[in-house]
Amino acid sequence: MLVYVQHKDGTPLMPCKPSKARKLLRDKKAKCVCRTPFTIRLNWDSTKHVQKLVLGVDMGSRNSGFAVRNENNQVVYLSEVESKQDIVGKMDTRRSFRRVRRNRKTRYRKCRFLNRKNSTKDNRYPPSIRSKYDSIWKEIKYICCKILPIDDLVIETATFDPHLMQNYKLAFQPWMYQKGLKFGYRNTAHYVLKRDNYTCQKCRGKKKDSRLQIHHVLYRNQGGSDRANNLITLCSTCHRELHSGLFSLTKRNTKSLLSHATHMNVLQSMFRKRIQFREIVGSFTKTVRQYFGIPKEHCFDAICCSIKKDIVPELLTNRIFQKKCIGRGNYKLTNGIRSEKFIPKGKINGFKRWDTVLHKNIRCFVKGRMSTGYMVLCNILGQKLNFRPMPKPSTTKRLSSRKSWIIAELVIQSS
């Protein structure tokens, strides 16, 4: 375990051992500024002699790994950040509520589409990708400006081909890039109708309904895509009966699996435009990991990104800091559309959602609060912790208030 040190002016210095940090705190030469990771700030003007440190980043669409090593391949920091994945769903819900409210509680106003400033400005990125970029960039800034003096930044990059991932035959027939599966068809609907031989796939034409419609097997609000493997031809009668619940189709795994690959391509271009860093390809990281026998984890991949050749990496820290991005707050005012009972947004018995608390010597987070005085606690993954009896404010100690992410420590078991 290491303790991270800041100069009196807040500049990060080299970390120290817990024994030295204990002496500095005892002699009032330093003070604690952060609990997780444990960071102290000196109260006197010391020298700023530091070593060269390299920050490696294993960038991902869902989870990203970070590792810092010195010139001797000694790792002094490990962390993993989980980005938010519910941006699109929340924005869709907000849009549906806004459109209903527009017609219910106000006079009629024309719907607005492309007259918002954020929608028409140049070089605009979708909110889902901006959220992932901000989570990765925030951790990089935190490491460089708060706890460790970083000299070099190395990021693992890779280029994904969604067309090839969707159809592996392109590797053997490159001409299909110009003449794909839907070559010669007006649109996807035309291709699906031709594929199904202009026949209802439920009744096979027995209901004598000549009006054919295209149906999503897995609905869009459930993660379904507009690709042809998620579309099926139904007649108007069967389509109406299906939405009425008279029968159901077999749900296939047709979720859009290419969105993460697309997000990675966009994230890399965003970082190339905004900051300077060294790029490492994924094949190099995999080779180094297999050579040294390092387990497959995001933070360990980050070690392999910035590793020095022919030097076995050594862990000076036995902690992995797991971080999960959360929303700033709950903007829902009431329960239900017609309800007038407001949801409390402040503290209840001194606690807010996602506060870090200590209950029965277990560090956890407040997932929910009840008006009866009880609380629901969870871990960093959002899994409910079943305490008996249920936690109360009198038996729970509040460690820190909620922030834009929650942090937990994972101790590496020595082998």
* pLDDT tens-digit series, residues 233-273: 999 999 999 999 888 887 665 566 678 888 999 999 999 99
Kind of pairing between the strands at 63-69 and 397-400: unpaired
Q: For residue 154, name the pLDDT band (cuts at 50, 70, 90).
A: very high
The residues facing 279 across adjacent strands are: 155
Residues 164-178: tens digit of each pLDDT: 777 777 777 766 667
Task: Name which of 45-54, 177-186, 295-304 the model is least confident about.
Answer: 177-186
pTM of the predicted model as reported, rounded to 2 decimal places = 0.84
Mean pLDDT, residues 357-373 taken together: 90
Average pLDDT for 8-16: 94
E strand residue ranges, 147-230: 152-157, 212-216
Show the tokens assigned to 325: 């991005």
In the Cβ-directed half-sphere of 366, how many Cα atoms lie within 13 Å?
Answer: 29
In the chain, domain spans: 51-82+124-313, 330-404
* pLDDT at 369 (0 to 100): 87
> What tens digit of pLDDT does each residue of 193-232 get?
999 999 999 999 888 898 999 999 888 777 778 888 889 9
Question: For residue range 118-139, what is the model confidence (pLDDT) as tens digits?
Answer: 777 778 898 999 999 999 999 9
pLDDT above 90 covers what percent of the chain? 51
